[in-house]
Chain A
Amino acid sequence: MNEEKIIVCRCEDITLKEIRDLINDGYTTLEEIKRITRAVMGPCQGKTCGPIIAREISKITGKPIEEIYKPSIRPPFGGLFFKEIVGEKDEK
Chain B
Amino acid sequence: MKNKASVVIIGGGITGVSIAFNLAKAGVKDVVLLEKKYLAYGATGRCGAGVRQQWGTKQNCILARESVKIFENIKDVLNVDIDIEFKQKGYLLLAFTEKEWNQFHKNVQLQNSLGINSKLLTPDEAKDIVPFLNTEKLLGAAYYEKDGHANPFLTTLAYAKAAENLGVEINKGVEVLDILVEYRKIKGIYTSHGFIETDKVVNAAGGWSQKIGKMVGVDLPVYSERHEILATEPVNEILGPMVMSFSYNIYCQQTPHGSFIMGYGPKEKVESLKSTWQFLETMAEKVTYLLPPTKNLRVVRQWAGYYNMSPDHQPIVSKCEEVEGFYLAIGFSGHGFMLAPAVGILMKDIILENELTWDVVLDIGRFKRNEIIKEPSVV
Contacts and interface: CB of A to CB of B under 8 A. Distances in A.
Interface stretch (B119-127, B237-245, B281-289): B281-289
B227 to A, nearest CB: 15
B72 to A, nearest CB: 22
B69 interface: no
Contacts of B295: 81-83, 86
B61 interface: no
Contacts of A35: 40, 45, 153
B157 A74 contact: no
Interface residues of B, number: 30
B45 A82 contact: no
A80 B38 contact: no
B285 A86 contact: yes
A41 B296 contact: no
B300 A82 contact: no
A81 B40 contact: no
B298 A75 contact: no
B83 to A, nearest CB: 12
Contact of A43 (B154, B157, B233): B233
A29 interface: yes
A11 B280 CA distance: 23
B159 to A, nearest CB: 14
Interface string A65-90: 00000000011100111110110010
A85 B295 CA distance: 9
A31 interface: yes
Nearest to B46: A35
B284 A82 contact: yes
A64 to B, nearest CB: 16
A43 B257 contact: no
26 contacts: A11-B233, A29-B38, A31-B37, A31-B38, A36-B157, A41-B300, A41-B301, A42-B233, A42-B300, A43-B298, A74-B275, A74-B301, A74-B302, A75-B302, A76-B280, A81-B298, A82-B284, A82-B287, A82-B288, A82-B295, A82-B299, A83-B288, A85-B281, A86-B285, A89-B284, A89-B285
Interface of B: 37-41, 45, 153-154, 157, 231, 233, 257, 275, 277, 280-281, 284-285, 287-288, 294-303
